[in-house]
A and B are shown apart, each in its own frame.
Chain A
Amino acid sequence: MRLHSRTALLAWLALVAASAWWIARHAVFTADLSAFLPATSGRLERLLVDQLREGVASRTMLIAIEGGAPPELARFSRELARSLAADRRFDYVTNGAAEFIQGARELGLKHRYLLSPTVSAERFSEQSLARALRENLERLATLEGTAFKGMLARDPTGELRSLVEAAGQGAPASRHGVWFSADGARALLLAQTAASGMNAMRQQEAADAVTGAFLRTGAGPEYRVLPSGPGVFAARTRAAIEHDTRWLTGVAGSLVLLILALVYRSPGPVALSALPVLTGLLVGVAAVGALFGTVHGITLAFGATVIGEAVDYPSYVFTQRKPGESVLDILGRVWPTLRLAVLTTVFGSLALLLSSLQGLAQLGVLSMVGVLAAGLVTRWVLPALAPGRGAPPPRSLPFSLVRAGLAMRRAAWIAWVLLAAALALIVARHDRIWDDDLGHLSPLPESARALHSRLSADLRAPDVGYLLVASAGSREAALEKSEQTALALQSWVREGVLEGFDLAARYLPSAMTQERRRAALPEARDLQRSLERALRGLPYRADAFAPFERDVEAARQGPLLALEDLRGTGLDLKVLSLLAESDGEWHALIPLRGVRDPARLRSLAEGLPAEARASFLDLKAESDRLIGGYRSQTLALAGLGALAIALLLCVGLRGARKALQVMLPVYAAIAMTVACLMLLGIGLSLFHLVSLLLVLGIGLNYSLFFGQAEPGTDSEQGTSLALSVCFLTTFAAFGCLATSRIPVLSAIGLTVTLGCALSLLNSMMLGGTAVRAREAR
């Protein structure tokens, strides 16, 4: 072993060890998808991202129990709710049972004069009191009298009743004291997870906790518990992808190994083939971790895809071995081209570093560092480890791709026609290329989404889609503003524009509103006088309403209701989830339910006066728009990357014409791939775009190597074999992914398989060749 190869080996070992150590010690992996949401500058957009990430809707879990008669379902619902309430993975759980609303009810009773919207000075006048007392008398003689009587002495004006009625408007149907679907087939619970809805791992734990707690209730096998919600979806998506990835990776890996073993006829090169890509992945992940602190799961998945081309690097070397040659000898011939192949990918990824999206920037770092490391390992480490001159040469092919390519050149017009058709299609349908609806890439069956919307309707949960946001400089100001907005909303509810809404100020009115209500309460002496007069001629005991007088006086003298008072009732969490702060600005979120005409609501909201102004957010449309922005940024950066690649090739190949000849087949292949996907009715998403980046990397390698192969020389046979092996391994690996039922995986698989096949064909038909280069000379 020569000195410099020993140095290389030591350096490599040190790098691998350092990366492994760093990853083990410091790297934080997160499954939080939000790194792939833009950190945009607009305040509403940031709020939106926060909402998607941490918001009420994202953490809400709807749980149904079905499979039996209502009394049993109700019993399991109670037991499940109790055990989830004690579980730290949940902030809050309720099934409508008294024990879960008891705290809120007591709070409502205690602070009814600050909470009730009907409190006014007029309500405590002699006339109003007399009217209320007469009505109560009649009510005592009715069926409902039994139920409401208990509160009569304390609350003759019915403030608590109006609070309960207001809360009841949005409440689900109930049977045996707990929430049920209207048809009684499902008992329903509502929970809020402690973890963000985008944290797939912890959402999985939460969903497992529900299943576990349900099993402990001792429900028989005929009963089923069905958790649903954005978090559950995130967890299930992750699980489905992991499952498919695992076994598809197994199949793909075996196929690749089989191909390599058949070609190399010895285990050494097969084993070494994995070295560059694994080193690249390790070093790349460590680099991302060191630069960004955390490594996102998606970066890892996409990154592994993008540096997949590094699997080909050893193939370009080992396949070119002539009898008696050492790896170092081969590299002497191949390295200039291989170096360019590595650098094109490095330059292409460079542009991604400029991305304002952390996920994309991470992807850029991972692929740049990873591919560079893989290239260096191929150049310096493989020669040190590879078998010496005695190793058997690889199997030779019975045909020559290079000659076939030259023959196909006569049919190059077909490629030109196809390219023209592809470009025409892309231009003609340029407005329909993209599909920014991430839902279409969801691996979840339609039935899961149908169940979710049924449960949402049963539970009268707010539509995940629509929000009004009242923003102001402080929490108080935001509450005040939202109270004004609510007044307008109430009239829209009456007009039928929407069914209902939720509001933080309903549970914690602004201090101003509370003060106004408190100020409306009469002084003890005045109240006593009005009450005495109102009681004349009525059959009540004279002292019957002393508790009422005491309560009014206590409220009049007492402090205002503060957020701390809500603790332990579940209402504090509700209020906090409906109030958000970002950059010193406070937002009162008003989730809307049963919005029939979003456009109408938007225009109504825009027409609100300044003191009640609230922005209308359509979360789905906004998130589609954000994804669209992400996609166009990726596209712009990919364009910049292409420019960097072009410059590199001009310098590396010493001529713009040669650079063009190398790039043309690949870009033509990308255009054709896009056209094929369009013809298949597939809208392009982010995942397709990332796959096309890989196609660009691999395709350029094909084109580069094809271009330098001279027919009739050793390089013909070597290049022919190299390209065959590289293509077959890529085709096998990504062909497996393409068969996945998971849209994300099949999108990546299909795009890469198609793109690589077209790149190879185009390189043969359209690419520059050594022959043509000589002729041109």
Chain B
Amino acid sequence: MISGAGLRASLLRAASVLLLASLPVAAQEEPWDFASLMAQLAQVQTSRARYSEVRRVAVLREPLQLSGTLFYERPARIEKRQTLPSREVISVDGDRLTVEREGKTREVRLQNAPLIAALVESLRATLAGDATELERLFSVRVQGTRQRWTLALSPREVEVGGVVKGISIAGSGSRLARIEILEPGGDGSVMTIHYDSQ
């Protein structure tokens, strides 16, 4: 997609990269903000990782333990393969999300499903370093340093906000380490991400 916004984002990204490159090695002291984080993330072409997730649900005695793999490929493809406790493959490409479960495939258009879109984009747009998309869906706040940052997202749309209070993503450099989703009722989940190779 070549839209004005996309172009602006690319220019911004390019400018940030140039800015980063021109700065002395004293990267630790550089001001770390949303634009810098996005620019950093935008350099990643593909990434693959394992995840384990702990999901707290009020009606359950113990939290659910989920695990599987994550895959991202620029510009807009992610795949989440859950292997435990049950197999489920969610793949998103562009606007199209497919869920494979028990041999059945279901398709969802993200634009028709605001809640799912918000959950997907919190991961995908972050991986993509897509500042425009993230800011469209969430109000964003970045804290920390390049080596140890957190990105806090709170949904803009009321309907999404009723189900997801906030998402907090922690990472280092261009890698995500932990995604925490907070829900209004006290439920929530924490996903920890492990990269196999350094």
Contacts and interface: CB of A to CB of B under 8 A. Distances in A.
Chains A and B come from one and the same complex: yes
Interface of A: 70-71, 98, 138, 140-147, 149-150, 152-153, 173-177, 184, 539-541, 544-545
B58 interface: yes
Nearest to B101: A142
Contacts of B57: 140, 149
Nearest to B185: A150
6 contacts: A141-B86, A146-B163, A149-B57, A173-B109, A177-B159, A184-B111
B64 interface: yes
Given A150-B185, A540-B61, 8 more contacts: A71-B136, A143-B90, A143-B116, A145-B55, A146-B115, A153-B59, A175-B111, A184-B111
A544 B112 contact: no
A149 B61 contact: no
Contacts of A541: 58-61
B180 interface: no
B62 interface: yes
B60 A540 contact: yes
Contact of A147 (B99, B163, B185, B187): B163
B85 to A, nearest CB: 6
A142 B189 CA distance: 12
B59 A150 contact: no
Contacts of A545: 59
B59 A70 contact: no
Contacts of B119: 143, 146
A545 B59 CA distance: 8
A601 B183 CA distance: 49
Interface in B1-54: none
Which of B59, B111, B163 gathers the greatest number of chain A CB atoms within 10 Å? B59
Contact of A141 (B59, B88, B99): B88
B164 interface: yes
A150 B61 CA distance: 16
A153 B58 contact: yes
Contacts of B163: 146-147, 150
Contacts of A174: 112
Contacts of B136: 71
Contacts of A175: 111-112
A142 B64 contact: no
Contacts of B60: 140, 539-541, 544
A89 to B, nearest CB: 28
A138 B60 CA distance: 12
A147 B58 contact: no
A146 B59 CA distance: 13
Given A176-B114, A539-B62, A540-B60, A141 B159 contact: no
Q: Summarize B's interface: helix, strand, loop or mixed.
A: mixed
A70 B112 CA distance: 11
A543 to B, nearest CB: 9
A176 B111 contact: yes
Interface in B149-198: 157-159, 163-164, 181, 183, 185, 187
Nearest to A69: B3
B175 to A, nearest CB: 24
B40 to A, nearest CB: 27
Interface centre among A98, A141, A143, A146 (most CB of B within 10 A): A143
Closest 5 CB pairs of A and B: A544-B59, A175-B111, A539-B60, A98-B159, A541-B61
Contact of A140 (B55, B183, B185): B55
Contact of B64 (A141, A144, A152, A184): A141
B66 interface: yes
Nearest to A152: B59
Interface string B69-109: 00000000000001001101010000000010100000001
B88 A147 contact: no
Contact of B164 (A140, A141, A146, A176): A146
A541 B60 CA distance: 5
Contact of A177 (B55, B66, B114): B114
Interface string B106-132: 000101101110010000000000000
A173 B101 contact: no
Contacts of B157: 176-177
A738 B187 CA distance: 74
Contacts of B159: 98, 177
Nearest to A97: B159
Contacts of B58: 153, 541, 544
A555 to B, nearest CB: 21
B158 to A, nearest CB: 7
A143 B158 contact: no
A141 B64 CA distance: 7
B127 to A, nearest CB: 17
A544 B61 CA distance: 9
Contact of A540 (B59, B101, B112): B59
Contacts of B158: 98
Given A174-B112, A545-B59, A142 B99 contact: yes
B61 A140 contact: no
Nearest to B115: A147
A138 B101 CA distance: 11
A539 B115 CA distance: 27
Given A153-B58, A176-B114, A177-B114, A143 B99 contact: yes
A541 B56 CA distance: 13
B88 A70 contact: no
Given A142-B88, A541-B59, A173 B112 contact: yes
B24 to A, nearest CB: 41
Contacts of B112: 173-175
